Amino acid sequence: MSSVRVRMYRQGLGDCFLLTFTTDAQPVHVLIDCGVLKGTPESKERMLAVAENVRETTGGSLDVLVATHEHWDHLSGFLQAQEVFDKLSVARVWTAWTEDPEDELAKELGIRKAKALHALAGAQRRLHAAGSKNGRRVSMQLDALLGFNGELGAEGRPTTSKAIEWVKTREPAELSFLRPGEELSGLPGLNGVRIYILGPPHDRRLIKRSDPSKKHPEVYELAGDMSADLGFMAAAEALDRGEIPEEQPFEEWFRIGEQEASDHPFFLEHYSSDRDEWRRIEDDWLGVSARLALQLDSDTNNTSLVLAFELGDGGPVLLFPGDAQVGNWLSWELLEWRITEGNVTKKVSAADLLARTILYKVGHHGSHNATLREKGLELMTSKELAAMIPVNRVTARKMEWNMPFPPLFKALMERTKGRIMDAEEGVSAANPGLLSDKEWRRFTKRIPAPVEKGWLDYTIEW
C-alpha cells in the first residue's frame, strides 16, 4: 500500500505544504512554498517553528523544494527562517520557466516587473511625503500590495527576489525550470507517482489575463477592469529621480513651480493650510498607482507553477495551483500528454486530471478570481474531492480582502460535500449533513485527531 500525507501549515495567511510520499522503503518529502503575509504578528517566530518542523519531519533532507511564484506569502520563510533552512539538504529545486534567466519572455516579464516596482515604491514615498488624507490612504493600499514583494525600498532588507534567489542557489540541488505540458515520472522513491505541469502558460497575453471576462465571467464573481499604465510608470520614475516628467499637461510658461508657489501670497492664502488641502491636486494622479500595483500582483500570481500529482497509473490526483488566476487556468484546456505504459499509449488531458482530483489546494487563499467555475471547480467530479484552504480571515479582514470569497466557499462546500480543511478554522467537528455518516468517517479517518495547532495533516492511500 502506498500513501501520501499532505501537511498544511497554519502559520497565517500564506502557503506552506509538506507532502510525504511513501511508495518504496524510504519516504520522499516535497515542500511546496513556505511563507506568510508581510505584517503578520510574530511572523519570524511562526516561520522558524514551521522550518523546525520541516527539518524534524524530513530528517533534515528534502527531496524536492518547489517555489510556485515570487510572492512574499509563499517565500518569506526561506529568509525569515534561513538559519534552519540552510541546514536542510535539498536534492531538487523546481520553479516555473519564468525564473529561467535564458528565457526571453521571462527576462521581459522580469524587467517590466522591476520597473513597475521601482515606480510604485517612488510613488509611495511621494504620497507619504505629501501628507494629504487621500495620499495616506493610497500609500497604505500600496504598502499592503507591495508587501507581497517584501521590504521594498529598504536597502539590505529581505525581498521576494532575494528569497527566490536563495531557493535557486541551493547546492548541490538539481534546478529545473518547468514548463506546461511537461510530465515528470520515475523520480527516486516516487514509484507510481506521475507529476504533470499545467502552468504557467508561456504566453504573455494569458499571464496578463488575471480577471474574468465581462461578458462571460469564468469565476464566481466579476471584478473590475484594471490595466497597468506605462505613462504613469515613466512619470513616477522621473519624480523618484527628482526630475520633472517630460510629459506635462501644460506648457512651461503656464506653470508655477512648487518653490515659487510657496512664496506667492495668493497660494499661501488659498492652498497652504490643512483646511485648503482639498484644493491641491498635484499628487492626485498618483492614485492610479494602487490600480497598477494590484495588476502587478495579479500578473505575478498568474506566473504560478501548477502541479498535478497522479497517484498510480490513472489514479487519483492532487492539484496544487499556487495562486494561478484566470489566464493560467484557461491555458490548461489546450494541454495534452501522451503516456506510454508498456505497449500501450494513452492521452491525458487537463480535464481528465481535474475529473480525478481528490485534493484541491484552493488557489490564492480562496479569492474570487483564483478558481475557475465551469473550466475549473465544476470539472472536479470525483466523489472523494476534498479541499485545503490556506486562509486566515482575521488578517484578510484587516487588509479588506474578502477571503475566502463567500460564493466560492459555498461552491466548495457543495462540491466537496463539506470535506474542507481550513488553515484557520480546521475541520468541521460534525458532519455538515452533505455526506452519509459512513462517508464522513472515511474522510475524517484521514485526519489525525486532535488536529495540531501548527499544521493539519491529510493522508491518502492508494
Q: For residue range 334-351, what is the model confidence (pLDDT) as tens digits?
A: 999 999 888 889 999 999
> What whole-number distance in Å separates Cα of residue 396 and Cα of residue 365?
9
CATH architecture of 3-105+158-223+297-461: 4-Layer Sandwich (3.60)
What is the 3-state composition of the chain as percent helix, strand, coil, each rounded to the nearest 5?
40, 20, 40
State the CB neighbour count (10 A cutoff) for residue 373.
18
Domain ranges of the chain: 3-105+158-223+297-461, 106-157+224-296
Question: What pTM was estimated for this model as a whole?
Answer: 0.83
Q: How far apart are CA 328 and CA 200, in angstroms?
A: 6
Cell numbers that stand for 119 in this block: 515606480
Q: Write down the pLDDT at residue 227.
A: 42
| DSSP 8-state assignment for residue 447 | S
Q: Where are the beta strands (DSSP E) in 35-113?
A: 61-66, 89-96
**Mean pLDDT across the stretch 13-40?**
95
Percentage of the chain beyond pLDDT 70 is 74
Confidence band, pLDDT 50/70/90 cuts, at residue 462: very high
Q: pLDDT band at 223, cuts 50/70/90?
A: very low
Longest CA pairwise span in the chain (Å): 90
CA distances from 457 to 20, 172, 382 (A): 10, 30, 21
For residue 11 the three cell numbers come to: 502559520
> What average pLDDT does range 402-429 have in this prediction?
96
Contact criterion met (CB below 8 Å) for 178 and 305: yes
Closest CA to 287 of 127, 114, 121: 127
Give 228's pLDDT tier (boundaries 50, 70, 90).
very low
